[in-house]
Chains A and B, each alone.
Chain A
Amino acid sequence: MEILETLAAIGKSIIPVLRGTEITVALTFSLLAIGLMMGLPLALGQVYGNKIISTIIVVYERTFRSIPALVLLFLFYFGPATFGIYISPFLAAILALGFRSSAYQSQIFRGAIQSIGQGQMMAARSLGMSKLKAIIYIILPLVLRRSIPSWSNEYSSVLKDTALAFAIGVIDLNRWGWRIAIRTQDPIIVFLVIGVIYFFLTLAGTRFLRWLEKELKIPGFQSRDTIG
């Protein structure tokens, strides 16, 4: 009976829970977008850039991969305030987790770039393409395809990192779980339901990426078959 009561309490708060879910999804997509927009150039710079550029990128990447997400959240929210710059918790969370994701994503793309045979670049150059053109038209289309499986891993990982953002006041799905758990005094059932929502968000995203991977597969001899 208690379980039913708790489920009914969650049911009555379904609108706020959905609002929290929306915040979680919005935060995930925004930080992944920042991570993608920065991660790809970072990877290209690390592989094709000169010594100075690649050193700077390595320092950036190591820094953001070494600091815990929670510490980054505090730094991005409380840090600017000490200089009189006040940003919203949501923006601070997007920036902190987005920069962090860009460091991780740069390594996904770097791995994909380095997995592509030297021959592709040489062939493109021998056809008269500039290095930039070869990267844009030959290397990148291959790299992006190959990155999808690891990128899907990054998606499912950052989706759950967003649950940390309440520490600086982002009212996400996780926080709504807390609120209902405190009202009902029945945290187990509430967090099982919240866990199920996270599960389906993860499943939807990874399923979509798997579909995209198959859809974009280069057909023909020697193409790597997608399993599953």
Chain B
Amino acid sequence: MGRRKVVSVLMVLVWGIVLTLGISCLSLAQEKPTYKVVSDISWPPFEMVDEQGNYVGFDLDVMRAIADLKGYNIEIKDLSFDSIIPAVAAGLADIGASGFTITEEREKQVDFSNSYWTSDQAIIIRADSGLNIATALSSGRKVGAQRGTTGADWIQTNLIDQGIKVELKLYETYPLAVLDLINGNLDAVIQDEPATRASLKKQESLSLAGIIITGEEFGFLVAEGDPKGILPKINQGMAELKASGEWEKLIAQYFGD
């Protein structure tokens, strides 16, 4: 008898928990939609982690501000850069916010918001190497970039495909390429300008060789066809942030000196 009682009490408990969870989920769903935002949170100043482990950065604060304005909740998830487009395309997440350059290639898989940032590519070298932007990108030089980024693409299409035999080495993340540059295994590293400036502040042994004006536009991305109707909210939200001056404040916070 004793054991049976325990079992029935447990059953009641379990069902109780299931029901409360179910009801709370339902009531949440009626209030506000929650969208899952994915970002590779390792790319200051666009997305990074502070000492307490909070997710901060320009992209994420913009996402939060828009969610507040347009009345939805967001849940931010950290995911490696290469996996973000597959995850959004598969419906595992709703919004990709990770400093994505809008490219034709990516447009085939996902839909982009209006552009929110224009970036160029920066080339960095060791300060004592005596190279300049032309010699650093000539035949026989080793150039590092993060895999899957537009910087890596630029080297491939504008140098290697044109017959300039630089050796392109790809890394999981940008700081690894920088480390290899400091260690002397690379001659130069290519990367988006804002992130480059953020890391140059911390690395005195490196210097900026030059900027390649590519005029890349960054956009937030959602699944092809925007099935949940998120893009209008993001675009309107960005316009409202710019009109209210909030946008400039965020830029000053993350890109100001």
> What residues of chain A have their CB less than 8 Å away from a CB belonging to chain B?
9, 12-13, 15-16, 19, 74, 77-78, 81-82, 84, 86, 89, 166-169, 171, 175, 178-179, 181-183, 185, 187-188
Contact = CB atoms under 8 A, between A and B. Distances in A.
B80 A166 contact: yes
A180 B94 CA distance: 27
Contact of A169 (B42, B53, B78, B173): B78
Q: Nearest 5 A-B pairs (CB), nearest first?
A: A16-B53, A81-B90, A169-B79, A179-B49, A12-B51
Interface in B100-123: none
Contacts of A185: 175, 178, 199, 202-203
Contact of B173 (A9, A82, A182): A182
Contacts of B176: 187
B92 interface: yes
A12 B52 CA distance: 8
B214 interface: no
A15 B53 contact: yes
B53, B82, B91, B199 — which one has the most chain A CB atoms within 10 A of its CB? B53
13 contacts: A13-B51, A16-B49, A74-B83, A78-B90, A169-B77, A169-B83, A179-B41, A181-B175, A182-B42, A182-B43, A183-B44, A185-B202, A188-B179
A16 B86 contact: no
Interface of B: 38, 41-44, 48-49, 51-53, 77-80, 82-83, 86-87, 90-92, 173, 175-176, 178-179, 199, 202-203
A9 B173 CA distance: 20
A74 B80 CA distance: 12
A192 to B, nearest CB: 14
Nearest to B77: A169
A183 B53 CA distance: 11
B93 to A, nearest CB: 9
A2 to B, nearest CB: 10
Contacts of B49: 16, 179, 183
